[in-house]
Chain A
Amino acid sequence: MIQKPTWKSSLKAYMYLAPMLIVMLTFNIYPIFKSLAMSFYTDYNFFQDIVNEYGIGNFVDIFQDPNFHIALKNTFIFVLGVVPVSIALSLLIALMLNNIKVLSSFFRTIYFLPFVTSTVAISLVWNWIYHTRFGLMNYFLGWFGIDPVNWLTDPKYALLGLIIMSIWKGLGFNIILFLVGLNNIDESYYSAAKIDGANPWKRFLNITIPLLSPTTFLVTVTGFINNFKVFDEVYAMFQGRPGPGNSALTVVYYLYEKFYTEYNYGEAAAAGVVLFVIILLVTVLQLAYNRKFVHY
């Protein structure tokens, strides 16, 4: 029994939707258009909300700003440092967890633990781990005869420190998704392959990898999107600075500085729009790739 909507039923439904819609319209949908518009405000009186002049000046300015170039470069390095390693490690761990029965959920609990912790608090812990003289990281590196590294003060290592921590923190989330994906693969494929004499490596390459591709796709897209927006980690690990000599300046950090310390709302919005376009492009590219290579 499918009913057709009537004015009466619609009115009723919209009453149920109203609380959600009011919040969404005010704080999600309107600001999308508003921030797009704001990125073209070149002369803006914030206190009276009067726009004196529109133009593409904000985009010109940020693209001529060396700091924005640094922010873009750092963000890309960060994302490319975190996402592939995180995917490879989490897939490996998920495969191992999928192959054991005893303690499997115990391990899963531990691997997922960092995910529920406050980014600020855990970044402070890592800030202490990275302490040049008394930190744990340099102590462990010392076991392998590696000289102490100035993780927090040497511009060369700031991003690397951030990448290591982010991989550690996000691993559990990817493992959970991979475990779900692995669970969805029908056992009978493996049994059939075994009968045909395929070795474990062949079974992995020809069954697991292709049948897991929707999950891998999902993990990649969410990984890219979430890591492009890195901010809390930077702020907390470098104590409210974007790393030594802007070495950990990211796009969102740039946006934050423009907005919060420089009150330059137009350029901040422009940086946000650029971030949005990058995320959109990456998603579209991956969707196209997905269509070609993801097997169901």
Chain B
Amino acid sequence: MSEKVQKTVLYALLILGAITMLIPFVWMLSTSIKSAGETMQMPPIWIPEDPKFENYIEAWNAAPFGRYFLNSVLVTVLSTAGELITTILAAFAFAKMEFYGKNILFTILIATMMVPGELLIIPNFVTLSRFSLINTYAALIVPWLASIFSVFALRQTFQGVPNELYYAAKVDGSSDFRFLWSIMVPLGKSSIVAIAILKIIGSWNSFMWPLIVTNDTKLRTLPVGLQAFTTEAGTRFELLMAASTIVIIPMVIIYIFLQKQIIAGISKSGLKG
């Protein structure tokens, strides 16, 4: 096989694969602007004759999606901001400070990553109901304010910052706290951004926990609200697809703009395994 034929076959296969990956999205978008009659046509129509963009408005108003959307934004923003703070502080301590019990503590924390989160749901539910926090925003946010995975990743980055810098700052009379925020954090920016984006995606898409700790409609996040909407929408697939698009689009936009950081974050997590 000549080089040229080889390359052509390679590209043909990759394009075929890419189409396969994209078809569900195209199908979702295409259905979302069909009329009810057009969804039930075989062979399927890809581009509806008279695109019904008003399906989005109808879906948005058919359930309190505005509320769900705000809830998702609130939960995502607060849990990401909170996790970043706990992570930056802890990673700094592990990377640059000396303290009793450092190694054993680190080992214990790493070991907890082995335990499937699903096992923790039951006692966490009990704990939260003990504090009467079921059906509150706190239940959606507080358990997710720390991640040992993030601490581990950022510790690696912070360790890469030369100790000399740290000692020099100390000699100059700079406090640890100031050093952390004015030197370490800017230097670790790319890692911090990667951690934040992965957290945002995870938090936006999370389902099982919000499903369990909320049964108040007002507290539903988008995935839970969307799932509940399926019973109301029934076979109105154009509305379901419009609603699914609303849930998916924000993360797709973030991904398109920040894919370099996302992929760097995933790659790093792969490297250290």
- Chain A residues whose CB sits within 8 angstroms of the CB of B143 once the complex forms: 23, 26-27
Which of A62-70, A154-162, A272-280 lies at the binding interface?
A272-280
Query: Residue A78 at the B interface, CB < 8 A?
Result: no
A126-157 interface (Cβ within 8 A of B): 126, 128-129, 131, 133-134, 136, 139
Interface size on B, residues (CB 8 A): 99
B27–A215 CB distance below 8 A: no
A218–B273 CB distance below 8 A: yes
Whole-angstrom distance between the Cβ of A71 and the nearest chain B Cβ:
13
- Chain A residues whose CB sits within 8 angstroms of the CB of B5 once the complex forms: none
**B107-129 contact mask (Cβ, 8 Å, vs A): 1 or 0:** 01100101111111111111100
The residue in chain A whose Cβ has the minimal distance to the Cβ of B230 is A239
Query: Residue A118 at the B interface, CB < 8 A?
Result: yes
The residue in chain A whose Cβ has the minimal distance to the Cβ of B94 is A17
Query: Residue A1 at the B interface, CB < 8 A?
Result: yes
Interface of A: prevailing SS: helix
B146–A19 CB distance below 8 A: yes
Which of A106-114, A185-193, A203-211 lies at the binding interface?
A106-114
Bound CA–CA A90/B219 (angstroms): 38
- Chain B residues whose CB sits within 8 angstroms of the CB of A14 once the complex forms: 93, 99
Query: Residue A292 at the B interface, CB < 8 A?
Result: no
Partner of B118 from the list A108, A112, A117, A229 (CB cut-off 8 Å) is A229
A19–B86 CB distance below 8 A: yes
Partner of B241 from the list A10, A113, A125 (CB cut-off 8 Å) is A125
- Chain A residues whose CB sits within 8 angstroms of the CB of B24 once the complex forms: 114, 122, 125-126, 129, 168
The residue in chain B whose Cβ has the minimal distance to the Cβ of A260 is B212
The residue in chain B whose Cβ has the minimal distance to the Cβ of A16 is B93
Bound CA–CA A51/B101 (angstroms): 34
* Given A12-B176, A49-B126, A180-B267: A124 and B27 interface contact (C-beta under 8 Å): no
Query: Residue B51 at the A interface, CB < 8 A?
Result: no
A283–B266 CB distance below 8 A: no
Partner of A116 from the list B17, B102, B116, B255 (CB cut-off 8 Å) is B255
The residue in chain B whose Cβ has the minimal distance to the Cβ of A133 is B42
The residue in chain A whose Cβ has the minimal distance to the Cβ of B130 is A49
Whole-angstrom distance between the Cβ of A80 and the nearest chain B Cβ:
18
Partner of A16 from the list B17, B97, B204 (CB cut-off 8 Å) is B97
Query: Residue B174 at the A interface, CB < 8 A?
Result: no
Whole-angstrom distance between the Cβ of A284 and the nearest chain B Cβ:
10
Query: Residue B263 at the A interface, CB < 8 A?
Result: yes
Whole-angstrom distance between the Cβ of A193 and the nearest chain B Cβ:
18
Query: Residue A119 at the B interface, CB < 8 A?
Result: yes
Q: Most A CB atoms within 10 A — which of B89, B116, B117, B143? A: B116
Partner of A9 from the list B21, B89, B99 (CB cut-off 8 Å) is B99
Q: Most B CB atoms within 10 A — which of A9, A30, A114, A120? A: A120
B44–A117 CB distance below 8 A: no
B263–A176 CB distance below 8 A: yes
Query: Residue B43 at the A interface, CB < 8 A?
Result: yes
- Chain B residues whose CB sits within 8 angstroms of the CB of A181 once the complex forms: 270
B100–A275 CB distance below 8 A: no
Query: Residue B47 at the A interface, CB < 8 A?
Result: no
Whole-angstrom distance between the Cβ of B78 and the nearest chain A Cβ:
13
* Given A16-B89, A32-B115, A128-B241: A116 and B262 interface contact (C-beta under 8 Å): yes
**A11-45 contact mask (Cβ, 8 Å, vs B): 1 or 0:** 01110110111011011111110110010000000
- Chain B residues whose CB sits within 8 angstroms of the CB of A256 once the complex forms: 208, 212
- Chain B residues whose CB sits within 8 angstroms of the CB of A12 once the complex forms: 97, 99, 176
* Given A176-B270, A222-B273: A124 and B212 interface contact (C-beta under 8 Å): no
A34-B126, A229-B118 given; 14 more Cβ-contact pairs under 8 Å = A10-B99, A13-B98, A28-B120, A100-B10, A108-B263, A118-B223, A119-B207, A119-B223, A120-B205, A120-B224, A125-B25, A134-B42, A176-B266, A231-B207
Interchain residue pairs A-B with the least CB separation, the first 7: A13-B99, A272-B119, A23-B146, A34-B123, A31-B123, A10-B99, A20-B90
